[in-house]
Amino acid sequence: MAKFDYSTQCIEDDDIQGVLEVLKSPFLTQGKKVEEFEKALCDYTGAKHAIVFNSATSALFGAYSACGIDEGDEIITTPISFVATSNMFVALGAKPVWCDVKADGNIDEALIEKLITPKTKAIVAVDFAGKPIEIETIKFIAKKHNLLLIQDASHALGSSVDEKKIGSFADMTIFSFHAIKPITTGEGGAVVTDNDEYAAKLRLFRSHGMVKKELWNSDMISLGHNFRMTEIAASLGVTQMKKLDSFIKRRNEIAFYYDERFQNEKLFLTQKIPHANISSRHLYPILLNPELHCFKEDIFKDLQAQKLGVQVHYKPIYQNSFYKERFGAVSLSVANNFYLSEISIPCHQQMSLDDAKYVANTLLSIIKKYAQKECSF
């Protein structure tokens, strides 16, 4: 465990015990743990179906395929995300239409409608750092224009809006269980949905498109993959789900401490969570003021030298070579600035308030040092 990493997993005795039991059982894959984990996800989010995958990337691929995203379709999406959000519909021949973000890192709902064309098929949004997107507004836009709404909630398992959990809003919602996401199965992901047809397609897509007939006979009825989750991973999912709320509570305690320490801070901004919402606080992003942008690299290196495992989320997807070559130059001002100013500081369930105090003190002293310098370009 790296105490001052921006995020880290929390594996305890019950997680280890569960895995050991699976290892000694007859089923390492395709047993009952996957079902148990899927039921826990449904119970928690309120969604009718949960289909787990071996990563959120394969879950995104499954979700986009299940709803028929195809060659020539346009998808309105956020550039401030991990590349997989766009990669998986590009893999199906669809085109990303990036919408600029707001200062909180979430898609700017006020800009979505202008980007809709007859080719638009879906809106794919990300709850950045765990902060829920403006879900009611975006749902309204999707409904008005007959578009699908897919939420890449890889950061946001356990986040909620007016006491309703993320996973109960969009046509399909994707979660990630990568090691440092809100809960972990090592690698893993899930799609939750209320739609029976999507759920059936997702199950086929995950496992070769095959259905069992009688005795040895099975039939492959659609093109599928092997994107199944193992019983070992699903066991971690089951034990981790029981602790999700306590993880989120601790992450929020750390985040509230930072919020108070930084509330009058003039040199950087923090992400504000509305009172009616809960954020999983997967990340605690700070945004340096423009006059500090030129020192970001120095600040980052100084933070690392003080053993703070900081990270930057994210380089806008359109700035990656693949996307520039495939789709040409794109430049969105808020997203560009977000990348110049963002640093994710340590915030996770393994930290104490003393740890948070150390992080805050270290951060403030480093940033104040640079605030007195003159930027030379």
Ligand X SMILES: *Cc1c(COP(=O)(O)O)cnc(C)c1O
Q: Which residues bind ligand X (CB under 6 A)?
A: 55-57, 81-82, 84-85, 126, 152, 154-155, 176, 178, 189
Q: Supply the minimum distance, in Å, between the C-beta of residue 365 and ligand X.
A: 30
Specify the residue, 33 or 155, whose C-beta has the smaller distance to ligand X.
155
Angle of helix 296-305 relative to helix 353-371, nearest 10 degrees, comes to 140
Q: Supply the minimum distance, in Å, between the C-beta of residue 64 and ligand X.
A: 12
Q: Supply the minimum distance, in Å, between the C-beta of residue 369 and ligand X.
A: 32
Kindly state the tokens that stand for 226. Answer: 């092997």
CA–CA dist 363, 311 (Å, integer): 13
What type of residue is 1? M
Q: Supply the minimum distance, in Å, between the C-beta of residue 175 and ligand X.
A: 9
Specify the residue, 234 or 367, whose C-beta has the smaller distance to ligand X.
234
End-to-end CA distance of the chain: 39
Q: Supply the minimum distance, in Å, between the C-beta of residue 81 and ligand X.
A: 5
Q: Supply the minimum distance, in Å, between the C-beta of residue 280 and ligand X.
A: 11
Output the DSSP codes for 90-150.
HTTT-EEEE--B-TTSSB-GGGTGGG--TTEEEEEEE-GGGPPP-HHHHHHHHHHTT-EEE
Specify the residue, 130 or 346, whose C-beta has the smaller distance to ligand X.
130
Specify the residue, 84 or 233, whose C-beta has the smaller distance to ligand X.
84
Residue 51 vs residues 13, 37, 48, 56, 235: alpha-carbon distances, Å: 26, 9, 10, 11, 15
Specify the residue, 82 or 295, whose C-beta has the smaller distance to ligand X.
82
H or E element that contains 219: strand 218-220
Q: Supply the minimum distance, in Å, between the C-beta of residue 166 and ligand X.
A: 13
Q: Count of H helices and E strands in the chain? A: 11, 15
Q: Supply the minimum distance, in Å, between the C-beta of residue 314 and ligand X.
A: 8
Specify the residue, 161 or 233, whose C-beta has the smaller distance to ligand X.
233
What type of residue is 305? A
What single-letter DSSP state applies at residue 375?
A: P
Q: Supply the minimum distance, in Å, between the C-beta of residue 145 and ligand X.
A: 24
Query: How many Cβ atoms from other residues are within 10 Å of residue 113's Cβ?
Result: 12
Specify the residue, 81 or 160, whose C-beta has the smaller distance to ligand X.
81
Residue 240 vs residues 143, 248, 278: alpha-carbon distances, Å: 35, 12, 19
CA–CA dist 209, 230 (Å, integer): 18
Specify the residue, 189 or 237, whose C-beta has the smaller distance to ligand X.
189
Specify the residue, 56 or 292, whose C-beta has the smaller distance to ligand X.
56
Contact at 8 Å (CB) between 75 and 63? no
The angle formed by the CA atoms of residues 192, 195 and 199, to the nearest 5 degrees, is: 60
